[in-house]
Amino acid sequence: MILGWLLRLLVVFLIARAVWRFVAGVLDGMAPPRQTTSPDGSAVALARDPVCGTYVVPSRAVTSGRGESLRYFCSGRCRDQYAGDRRLAS
């Protein structure tokens, strides 16, 4: 008899929790979009290494070229490989 009451209580609890999560999800979906950058503006645009595809922070990256032809690399090895490939293509 006690086991029956415990099972009923558990079922009621699980149904109530499911309803609550559904309502919370609907309300969250109706809310305006959240801010995607940090409030202090510390988000940094990343640059993609043309050799290995790694994304790097431009201020910490190894660079090659100037102006419009400036490239960002994750390492000196990638920069050297890029320079070697460009010489072979010429």
Pairwise CA distance, residues 85 & 66, whole Å: 18
Indicate the range of 28-32, 59-63, 74-78, 83-87 predicted with least confidence: 83-87
Q: What is the reported pLDDT for 52? A: 92
Q: What is the reported pLDDT for 43? A: 74
Distant-in-sequence, close-in-space partners of 52: CB < 8 Å, separation ≥ 6: 74, 78
If you average pLDDT over residues 52-63, what whole number do you get? 91
> Do residues 47 and 61 lie in contact, with contact meaning Cβ atoms separated by under 8 Å?
yes
> Do residues 35 and 43 lie in contact, with contact meaning Cβ atoms separated by under 8 Å?
no
Q: What is the pLDDT of residues 6-42, one digit of tens each?
A: 999 999 999 999 999 999 999 988 888 776 665 666 6
Among candidate residues 55, 86, 85, the one with its CA nearest the CA of residue 72 = 55
What pTM does this model have?
A: 0.50
Q: What is the reported pLDDT for 39? A: 62
